[in-house]
Each structure stands twice: as structure tokens, then as C-alpha cells.
Amino acid sequence: MPSLINIRRRIRSVNNTQQITKAMKMVSAAKLHHARDRALASRPYAGMMTQVLSDLAAAAGGIEDPGDLPLLQVREEKRIQLIVVTSDRGLAGAFNANLLRASERFIEDHPKADIHVESIGRKARDYFARRSVPISGEHVGIIEKPRYEDAKAIAAKMIGLYSRQEIDAVYIIGNEFKSVMNSNLTIRRILPIALPEGGSQIDFIYEEPAGELLKALLPRYVEISIYRAMLESVSAEHAARMTAMDAATRNAGEMSERLTLHFHHARQSAITTELIEIVSGAAALS
Amino acid sequence: MANTIHLKVATADRLLVDSEVSAVECPCTTGYIGVLPGHAPLVSTLGLGTLTYTPAGAGSQKNVTVTSGFIQVLDNSVRVLADSAEII
């Protein structure tokens, strides 16, 4: 049986931990709010971009000659580039573990392909550095506050590799924010681009040939896809951390309660023992 | 027929303008184009310059500086996708 001092020490330590987890939960809640704002702010652009692209694709009546537009060329997937979007920090429950497991599964599902990983976030880098998966690039420290320029740089790299035919497909895997309680794991192919459908068939006046327009639009579509994946991941990360820290705070509370009860029992029995000793000592004297 | 245009100007990280306007003038790579209600569908690329629009109803002209990007005109709505833009 642990001594009273030991129990008291445990209680204090659990309470301290609880304070930390509580603070982390608050911080995550605030950060989640900001992350949601940013994700919402990028939505109009992404929506309009999809709209314009689908209209253009429909108006062009399907692109007959993708030779001119390398980003639409579908090739056999022999060399795949996988972009893994994780967080820089841990303590977010199963957030990163689930994602890394899913990317591992993705790699297993494509045994014939030569897969390279581009990691966004420290967790992905650390994970793949310990495995025999070739890493083509790593981006640490950009996921905390995703900037469009960062997404653009990654997109430029992918587009370059793809148009030089050094890779045959680019997939991005990341968490997508659904609600505070849950997020979805999504794997998307971003290259070659699958043109969004459902555009209205309208005779547009083109100031430039449609091919030229597409040539300029497609890279931006890749950029915004990566940017959105990053924003979604950040939201999901903070939501996951919030949930995890909430659970941790609750567990710490329960533990502290149990320990306090234990402490009282121990104290009471110590007093009782002492009393019996005194009483029996007095009885022996008389 | 509606006599206003719905103008939306967005960059990747925010929506700058989302309002009913009566006229838009914007800097395309081929030169400035003016858009009034009832304009034919059009798609073009944007150059560096100042986009000017007149809010519907009373109101003075407003300017937005845009760098490169795209513009789509369709059914009295103008969508501007700018790489970067700033209201001035």
C-alpha cells in the first residue's frame, strides 16, 4: 500500500496533467476556429475554379488531343507520387496513425508501382524516414499555417515531374474535416487531372484559344487542390487534438477523484490504527 | 431582364467582392473589356491592372487591383479568379 505522501504526490501530478490537457484543448478550439475560417475563405475560389473548368471542358466537347495538355494525359501508373499530409505535432489521438496506416496500405495495394513519398508535416517525414520508402521531398513547418505559396511550390514540383514524364500519377492522402467529432480519410488523384463534369454547354467567346486557357487553368487547379487538402488537414488536426485532449481531461478528472477517495481511505485507516494503539496502550496501563 | 451583374472576385485565400453591380471593367491580357448586363458568355485571362466596378443602385466606382488570373462571364454573373487582388 502506497504511503499517504505518495498518493498525495500522484494526485498533484494528475491534476497538473489535467490542467495542461485542458489548456491544450482550449488552444486547439481556438486554432480550429481559425483553420475553419481559412478553409471557408478558400471555398469560393475553389468552387468557381471547378465551375469554370467544367464549363470549359464541356464547351470544348471533351479534349480530343491531350498531347497538347500534358496534365490531362493518362499513362499507365508505374511511378506514383504520393503526397502524405500529416501534422507537425502529435498528441492528436489517432489522427496521424490512421493516416500513415492508410498510406502504408496504399503502397501495399500498388505492389507493381514505384512509389515515392512527398511528405507534408513532420509526422509523415519521421515515419517514412524509418521505412524503406523513397522520399522525394519533405515539407516541415508549413502545415501549421498553410500558405498558398507553399501549395504552389509543391504543385510546381509535381507538375514539372509529371510533364517530364518522370512520374505517371500523383495522389494526395489527407484528413478531411467533417465535424469536430470525426474526419474523413481521403485519397485523391490530382494528376492526371480528371476534368470536373456537369458544366453547361455554352458557346463562350474565347479571347484566347480554349487550349491556351486550359493550359493556364490546369496548373492552378492542381495548386488549389493541394492547398485545400492542406487546409482541411489542419482543421481536422485541431479537431482531433481537441477531442483527444477533452478525453484526456475527463480521464484525468476521474483518476484524480479515485485517488482522492483512496487517499481518504488510507488516511482514515491510519487514524483508526493509531487510535486503537492509544486505547489499547491506556487499557494495558490501568 | 435583370439589369445588374453578380460580380465575384476571389483569390485562393479569400473572397474579395461578392455583390450586385451595374458595370464591370476589367484588365484582360488582350486589353480592357467592359461588361454590362446581358453580356455574352466569355472566358479570358486577366492581366495586371485595375478592375473597376460600379455597384448597383447608388454608389461610386470601386477599384480592385488584380494581377494575373481568369474571368468568366455567364448569365449576368462575372467570376474573377485572381492570383492576387487587393481592394483600393
Assign residue A66 the CATH number of its domain.
3.40.1380.10
Contact A205 B11 (CB under 8 A): no
Q: What per-residue confidence (pLDDT) applies to B1?
A: 54
| pLDDT computed for residue A280 by the predictor | 93
The predicted pLDDT at position A64 comes to: 52
Average pLDDT, chain A: 86
Domain count, chain A: 2
Both A15 and A116 in a single domain?
A: no
Rounded Cα distance, B49 and A48, in Å: 21
- Neighboring chain B residues of A148 at a CB cutoff of 8 Å: 11-13
Tens-place pLDDT, residues A194-247: 777 766 677 777 777 777 788 888 888 899 999 989 999 999 999 999 999 999
Does residue A185 share a domain with residue A232?
yes
ipTM of the complex: 0.81
Asked if B62 has any chain A CB less than 8 Å from its own CB, the reply is no
Q: A43 and A79 share a domain? A: yes
Q: Are residues A43 and A147 in the same domain?
A: yes
Do A73 and A9 share a domain, yes or no?
no
Distance between CA atoms of residues A102 and A98, nearest Å: 6
Is residue A89 located within the same domain as residue A223?
A: yes
Q: How far apart (Å, rounded) are the C-alpha atoms in residues A10 and A219?
A: 57
Residues of chain B numbered 12-31 and touching chain A (CB < 8 Å): 12-15, 18, 28-30
CA-CA distance, A82 to A74, in Å (whole number)?
Answer: 17
Q: What tens digit of pLDDT does each residue of A162-206 get?
A: 888 888 889 999 888 888 887 888 888 887 887 777 666 777 777
Same domain, A266 and A134: no
Residues A65 and A83 in one domain: yes
Tell whether the model's pLDDT for residue A130 goes beyond 90: no
Does residue B41 carry a pLDDT above 60?
yes
Query: For position A276, what pLDDT does the model report?
Result: 94
Predicted confidence at residue A14, as pLDDT, reads: 94
Domain residues for the domain of A35 are: 25-197+219-241
- B5 is written with which cell numbers? 451583374
Residue A193 domain flag: yes
B2: pLDDT strictly greater than 80: no
Residues A72 and A55 in one domain: yes
* Residues in chain A within 8 Å Cβ distance of B19: none
Percent of chain A with pLDDT over 90: 28
Contact A55 B72 (CB under 8 A): yes
Verify that A115 and A187 share a domain, yes or no: yes
Model confidence at B61, pLDDT cuts 50, 70, 90, reads confident
CATH number at residue A271: 1.10.287.80
With CA atoms as reference, report the closest residue to A75 among A183, A173, A153, A189: A189
Average pLDDT over residues A97-117: 87
What's the helix, strand, coil split of chain A in %, to 5? 60, 15, 25
Measured in angstroms, the CA of A135 and the nearest CA of chain B are apart by 28
Per-residue pLDDT averaged across B53-70, rounded?
84
Q: Quick check: is A211 in a domain? A: no
Average pLDDT of the segment spanning B34-49: 86
Q: CB-CB: which of B33, B41, B79 is closest to A203?
A: B41
Inside any domain, residue A29:
yes
* C-alpha span between B74 and A123 (Å, rounded): 45
pLDDT of A271 = 93
List of domains in chain B: 5-87 (2.60.15.10)
- Identity at A281, one-letter amino acid code: G
Task: Let me know if residue A283 belongs to a domain.
Answer: no
Give pLDDT tens digits for B10-24.
888 888 888 888 888
pLDDT at residue number B74 = 85
With respect to residue A204, please indicate whether it lies within any of the assigned structural domains: no
Same structural domain, A259 and A167: no
Per residue in A44-71, pLDDT (tens digit) is: 888 888 888 887 777 765 555 555 677 7
Give the gap in angstroms from C-alpha A162 to the nearest C-alpha of chain B. Answer: 23
Of B10, B14, B43, the CB nearest to A206: B43
The pLDDT value recorded for residue A18 is 94
